[in-house]
């Protein structure tokens, strides 16, 4: 068990390190001279070649690229992601002020999607081909097919503009988070519902379910004790992967609802060509994603003893 | 009165390709303490017959006839009453222990849950009983093994766990479905010995296609072909004087009897052959075998056979 966790943790470390290489390279291989870009950020569009060269030497941009990477990584490890090219504020503190808003939205939409998906998926499986099953599968199909930005706009039109119940956009009280959370949550719920249903159906046809019934257990116990734990193993994987989808959705939904989170910061930075900020946001998103998957691996081990006791792959 | 009396049992399973008539007009009796072997080739309906007794088939399955257990017709009980019979009165040892044990639950807990349910014991006492059950099926270090998961057990050990699970609530009748399938010969003989020991004071319906095993365990043998019983007799009698051509063919196909297979394939249960269901494969088939369905005949001394040869 400890070995398993250690191996997973090492894997996360490797992934994050790989991502630092990629984000760093992107910065350097994008067209345009980084020294020039930094200089533009600092001194405006009117530049002399001298100013650019001065930036190049002071920022260490004339050193070989692996040395630059080393320096950059060293700074990164000390929590220094550089300063925004636009505002000049440290990237890290800017991201950290945006994190709570994004996390609030991400976690609430995740909870919302699970609250919808898991019960409906289970009921749909138990009552296969019933009205409930058919309706939920149609609902899931609609949910999967509907793009986030479109659903978000529809919700704004109906609840904010037409009914006037909820604010159109912005950050503040609970009423502000309802529409963005629904927008993000329902799309994910659609996928999880389908998966919970099919996973549950498969488990219910297994021999050990028949064994459980042969013992005289009630249907409720058969499902709660024997079926659920097995059915959740694939569902957990997808929930982990969906967290990646969620961080991607956050970028769109935060933009639509003017939600002051990391996703919106990323979009704004891209438009402003604020490279250090983009780097920081991407790193943040990747690290969150990698750790979510670590969490998934840990819950795997909890759910499936065959993984827990595996000596080697 | 016998412990279990099955009369005119029909189990029909609707599928996409048509209705599978898995069990047709089967009459069977099991006395107290009797071990009855139900033998036949794969797909003849013997497992379905076993599961019809405890009604463990899909809800869409149609089961008709009578299954009277201790004076109660099991087919007339509601689900709640049936649950009190399952595991407690009639236990099943289902085939294929690798897939029949829940991979994510500890073996001890899987045995203990039936004990808790039917005997109303608390968790700790039920656990102690579960460990005793593991000990009774001769699993070494039962206390340690109770805390392990099925994948940590070998095939033979898993089969022992299945047996312990079946015996946990001291049932009067055990339905064992191919408990020796897939085990190698030494392990198989150990399991046979164990089954004999633990069923000394019980009745058992022993479903198998392994005649050698059936001979060692069973008092009587019923031979099933294409959803019907074709022969029934005492175990010695079946081996000494097999009467139905199918039983004869089955015996001749055993390794120590010459390994001669029965020609043809086992028939579809959706659209079974007319007349005698065995006639397309039978060396003695006459004209009437094709058109008329033979009845079960009594050939003295509790020997029954469904064949026109003895008419």
**pLDDT per residue as tens digits for the range B229-263:** 999 999 999 998 999 999 999 888 877 777 778 88
Give the pLDDT band (50/70/90) at residue A309: low
When pLDDT is averaged across residues A163-177 and rounded to a whole number, the result is 79
Select the residue from A128, A202, A204, A208 to test the B interface by mutation, using most B Cβ atoms within 10 A.
Answer: A208
- Which CATH number applies to B4-76+210-275+284-310: 3.40.50.300, 3.90.550.10, 3.30.2320.30, 3.40.109.40? 3.40.50.300
Cβ burial, residue B150 (10 Å; 0-12/13-18/19+): buried
Test B103 with A208 for CB contact under 8 angstroms. yes
pLDDT in tens, B128-153: 999 999 998 889 999 999 999 999 99
Strand B220-225 and strand B297-298: the pairing is: unpaired
Q: Would the pTM count as exceeding 0.90? A: no
**DSSP H helical segments within chain A, as ranges?**
2-29, 34-43, 49-58, 65-77, 91-126, 131-145, 148-155, 174-204, 207-214, 219-221, 228-256, 262-272, 275-303, 305-308
pLDDT in tens, A227-249: 998 999 889 888 888 887 788 88
Residue A47 clears pLDDT 80, i.e. is over it: no
pLDDT at B185: 87
Q: Give the ipTM of the model, two decimals please.
A: 0.88
Give the pLDDT band (50/70/90) at residue A250: confident
| Residue burial B52-85, b: 16+ Cβ < 10 Å; e: rest | bbbbbbeeebebebebbbeeeebbebeeeebbeb
Cβ burial, residue B298 (10 Å; 0-12/13-18/19+): exposed
Give the single-character DSSP code of B157: H
In this complex, is the C-beta atom of A310 within 8 Å of any C-beta atom belonging to chain B? no
Q: Rounded to a whole number, what is the distance in Å from the CA of A312 to chain B's nearest CA?
A: 15
Using alpha carbons, list the distances in angstroms from residue B81 to A31, A218, B118. 77, 11, 12
Contacts of A229 in chain B (CB under 8 A): 104-105
Pick the residue with more confidence: A92 or A164? A92
Test A216 with B88 for CB contact under 8 angstroms. yes
Residues in Cβ contact with A112 at an 8 Å cutoff, skipping those fewer than 6 apart: A181, A182, A185, A186, A189
Contacts of A234 in chain B (CB under 8 A): none
Residues in Cβ contact with B46 at an 8 Å cutoff, skipping those fewer than 6 apart: B38, B39, B40, B207, B224
Whether the Cβ atoms of residue B213 and residue B196 lie closer than 8 Å to each other? no
pLDDT at A312: 43
> Closest by alpha carbon to B82, among B95, B98, B69?
B69
Select the residue from A216, A227, A228, A311 to test the B interface by mutation, using most B Cβ atoms within 10 A.
Answer: A216
Interface of B with A in 80-119 (CB under 8 A): 83-88, 91-92, 94, 96, 99-105, 113-114, 117-118
When pLDDT is averaged across residues A124-149 and rounded to a whole number, the result is 86
The minimal CB distance from B117 to the residues A207, A210, A216 is found for: A216
In this complex, is the C-beta atom of A207 within 8 Å of any C-beta atom belonging to chain B? yes
Give the pLDDT band (50/70/90) at residue B221: very high
Give the pLDDT band (50/70/90) at residue A75: confident
Using alpha carbons, list the distances in angstroms from residue B2 to B26, B31, B92. 16, 5, 19
Residue A311 clears pLDDT 60, i.e. is over it: no
What is the pLDDT of chain B when averaged over all its residues? 90
pLDDT at B224: 94
Q: For chain B, what percent of residues have pLDDT higher than 90?
A: 59
> Closest by alpha carbon to B166, among B58, B89, B245, B221?
B89
For residues B49, B50, B51, B52, the Cα torsion angle rounded to the nearest 10 degrees is 50
Residue A293 clears pLDDT 80, i.e. is over it: yes
The minimal CB distance from B118 to the residues A210, A211, A216 is found for: A216
Q: What is the chain B residue with the closest CA to A306?
A: B151
Pick the residue with more confidence: A39 or B100? B100
Residue appearing with tokens 């009797």: B34
Give the single-character DSSP code of A308: H
**DSSP H helical segments within chain B, as ranges?**
46-53, 79-85, 97-100, 107-119, 123-136, 142-145, 155-167, 185-198, 211-217, 235-240, 245-252, 287-291
Contacts of A217 in chain B (CB under 8 A): 83, 87, 113-114, 117
Residue A169 clears pLDDT 80, i.e. is over it: no
- Residue B5 — φ and ψ, nearest 5°? -130, 115
Whether the Cβ atoms of residue A299 and residue A236 lie closer than 8 Å to each other? yes
Strand B72-73 and strand B203-208: the pairing is: unpaired
d(CA B60, CA B19) in angstroms, rounded, equals 11
Select the residue from B102, B123, B146 to test the A interface by mutation, using most A Cβ atoms within 10 A.
Answer: B102
Residues in Cβ contact with B132 at an 8 Å cutoff, skipping those fewer than 6 apart: B142
């Amino acid at each position: 068990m400890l070995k398993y966790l250690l191996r997973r943790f090492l894997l996360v470390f490797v992934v994050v390190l790989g991502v630092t290489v990629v984000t760093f390279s992107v910065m350097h291989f994008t067209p345009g001279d980084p020294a020039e870009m930094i200089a533009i950020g600092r001194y405006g569009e009117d530049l002399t070649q001298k100013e650019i060269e001065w930036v190049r030497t002071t920022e260490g941009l004339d050193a070989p690229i692996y040395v630059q990477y080393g320096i950059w990584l060293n700074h990164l490890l000390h929590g220094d992601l550089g300063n925004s090219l636009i505002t000049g504020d440290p990237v890290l503190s800017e991201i950290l002020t945006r994190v709570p808003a994004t996390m609030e939205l991400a976690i609430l939409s995740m909870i919302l999607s699970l609250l919808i998906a898991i019960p409906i998926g289970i009921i749909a499986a138990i009552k296969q081909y019933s009205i409930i099953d058919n309706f939920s599968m149609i609902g899931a199909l609609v949910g999967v097919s509907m793009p986030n930005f479109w659903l978000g706009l529809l919700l704004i039109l109906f609840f904010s503009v037409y009914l006037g119940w909820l604010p159109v956009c912005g950050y503040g009280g609970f009423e502000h988070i309802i529409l963005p959370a629904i927008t993000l949550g329902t799309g994910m719920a659609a996928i999880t519902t389908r998966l919970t249903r099919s996973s549950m159906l498969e488990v219910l046809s297994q021999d050990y379910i028949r064994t459980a019934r042969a013992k005289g257990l009630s249907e409720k116990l058969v499902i709660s004790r024997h079926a659920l734990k097995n059915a959740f193993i694939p569902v957990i994987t997808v929930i982990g992967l969906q967290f990646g989808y969620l961080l991607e959705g956050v970028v769109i939904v935060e933009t639509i609802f003017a939600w002051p989170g990391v996703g919106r910061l990323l979009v704004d930075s891209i438009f402003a060509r604020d490279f250090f900020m983009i780097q920081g946001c991407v790193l943040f998103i990747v690290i969150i994603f990698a750790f979510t998957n670590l969490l998934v691996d840990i819950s795997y081990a909890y759910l499936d003893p065959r993984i827990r006791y595996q000596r080697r792959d | 009165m016998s412990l279990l009396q099955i009369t005119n049992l029909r189990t029909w399973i609707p599928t996409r390709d048509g209705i599978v008539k898995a069990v047709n007009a089967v009459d069977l009796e099991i006395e107290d303490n009797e071990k009855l072997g139900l033998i036949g080739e794969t797909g003849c309906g013997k497992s379905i017959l076993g599961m019809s007794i405890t009604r463990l088939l899909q809800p869409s399955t149609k089961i008709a006839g009578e299954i009277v257990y201790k004076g109660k017709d099991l087919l007339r009980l509601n689900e709640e009453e049936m649950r009190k019979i399952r595991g407690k009165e009639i236990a099943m040892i289902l085939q294929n222990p690798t897939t029949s044990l829940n991979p994510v639950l500890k073996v001890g807990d899987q045995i203990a849950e039936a004990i808790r349910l039917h005997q109303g014991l608390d968790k700790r006492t039920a656990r102690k009983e579960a460990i005793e059950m593991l000990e009774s099926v001769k699993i070494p270090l039962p206390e340690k093994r109770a805390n392990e998961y099925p994948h940590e057990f070998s095939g033979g050990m898993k089969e022992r766990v299945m047996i312990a699970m079946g015996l946990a609530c001291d049932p009067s009748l055990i339905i064992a479905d191919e408990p020796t399938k897939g085990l190698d010969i030494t392990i198989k003989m150990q399991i046979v010995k164990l089954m004999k020991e633990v069923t000394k004071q019980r009745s058992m319906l022993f479903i198998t296609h392994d005649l050698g095993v059936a001979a060692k365990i069973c008092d009587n043998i019923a031979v099933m072909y294409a959803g019907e019983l074709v022969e029934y007799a005492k175990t010695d009698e079946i081996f000494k004087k097999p009467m139905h051509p199918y039983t004869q063919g089955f015996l001749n196909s055993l390794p120590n009897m010459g390994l001669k297979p029965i020609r043809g394939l086992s028939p579809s249960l959706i659209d079974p052959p007319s007349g005698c269901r065995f006639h397309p494969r039978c060396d003695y088939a006459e004209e009437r075998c094709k058109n008329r369905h033979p009845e079960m005949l009594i050939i003295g001394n509790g020997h029954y056979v469904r064949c026109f040869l003895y008419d």
